[in-house]
């Protein structure tokens, strides 16, 4: 082989090598940046610790005299739709039921810190599994979700099971009753506080009793519920309580609150 051709061949090889290095470098850099920025839902889903199963049928309550009743089984006068001109959910036998794909509904009134009591029921006929089985949710101030799900012998990520502060806190126990049975939540919600510049002063706290069992013990909420990525607070004022249409025939009844801002404070 003439020396000129050998030289050209060597140069070509070196150039090829350099280009490969260059491509590899940028590909690695790009992947790193992409990994850093792009979250997938699974990044925030955890399967342990699995809470112990407890059998519980307690916690059922009638509204006390100072309660503000949000739903007494008769009409949607205290509720607003999010996707349709009117609330399209149905009412039967004193309970409201999600009409799938008509959208979430939320209270006409806005609230700060509250005690919220409600009863809920997932369909007796099991349809779907994991997150697709009796999924709904209670959003405090339309942002912070306490999950509603059929968690009776139904595996899913534990920070997304019933009574989880969705994708933030696993309940301390699985107090699920079988599908088709009425269950109850007694929730204490302490609203977050922000200063005039929008900075967070006090985070939200959530306490949940599920069928009478303490399952969230005043957990510090990390921010609004996110399906993908990490929660981050954005300043807001009082807001409504929202019930989720997640496409499943979940029912609610006997919904009332007590305003904690109006409770006496003993110093």
Q: What are phi and psi of 247, to 5 degrees?
A: 90, 0
Minimum separation from the CB atom of position 145 to Mg ion (A): 6
Residue with smaller CB distance to Mg ion, 133 or 253: 133
The CA distance from 220 to 205, in Å, is: 5
Strand partners, 45: none
Check whether the bond before 49 is cis (ω within 30° of 0). Answer: yes
Minimum separation from the CB atom of position 179 to Mg ion (A): 16
Residue with smaller CB distance to Mg ion, 137 or 179: 137
Please choose, from the candidates 209, 212, 178, 172, the residue with its C-alpha nearest in 3D space to the C-alpha of residue 58.
212
Residues at the interface with Mg ion (CB under 5 A): 135, 137, 244
Residue with smaller CB distance to Mg ion, 183 or 244: 244
Minimum separation from the CB atom of position 58 to Mg ion (A): 24
Minimum separation from the CB atom of position 264 to Mg ion (A): 35
Residue with nearest beta carbon to Mg ion = 137
Residue with smaller CB distance to Mg ion, 78 or 135: 135
The CA distance from 96 to 233, in Å, is: 31
Tokens in use for 137? 């949710």
């Amino acid at each position: 082989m003439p020396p000129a051709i050998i030289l050209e061949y060597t140069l070509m090889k070196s150039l090829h090598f350099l280009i490969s290095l260059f491509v590899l470098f940028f590909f690695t850099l790009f992947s790193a940046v992409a990994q850093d920025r792009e979250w997938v839902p699974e990044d925030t889903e955890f399967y342990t610790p699995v809470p112990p199963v407890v059998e519980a049928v307690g916690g059922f309550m009638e509204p006390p005299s100072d309660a503000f009743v949000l739903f007494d089984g008769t009409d949607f006068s205290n509720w607003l739709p999010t996707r349709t001109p009117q609330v399209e959910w149905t009412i039967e036998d004193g309970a409201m039921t999600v009409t799938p794909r008509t959208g979430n509904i939320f209270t006409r009134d806005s609230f700060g810190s509250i005690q919220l009591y409600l009863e809920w029921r997932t369909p007796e006929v099991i349809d779907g599994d994991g997150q697709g089985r009796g999924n709904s949710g209670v959003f405090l101030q339309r942002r912070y979700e306490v999950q509603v799900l059929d968690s009776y012998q139904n595996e899913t990520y534990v920070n997304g099971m019933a009574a989880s502060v969705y994708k933030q806190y696993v309940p301390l126990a699985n107090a699920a009753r079988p599908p088709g049975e009425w269950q109850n939540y007694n929730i204490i919600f302490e609203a977050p506080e922000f200063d005039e510049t929008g900075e967070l002063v006090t985070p939200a706290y959530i306490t949940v009793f599920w069928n009478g069992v303490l399952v969230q013990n005043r957990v510090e909420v990390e921010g609004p519920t996110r399906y993908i990525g990490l929660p981050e607070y954005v300043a807001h004022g009082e807001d409504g309580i929202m019930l989720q249409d997640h496409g499943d025939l979940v029912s609610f009844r006997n919904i009332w609150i007590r305003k904690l801002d109006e409770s006496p404070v003993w110093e």
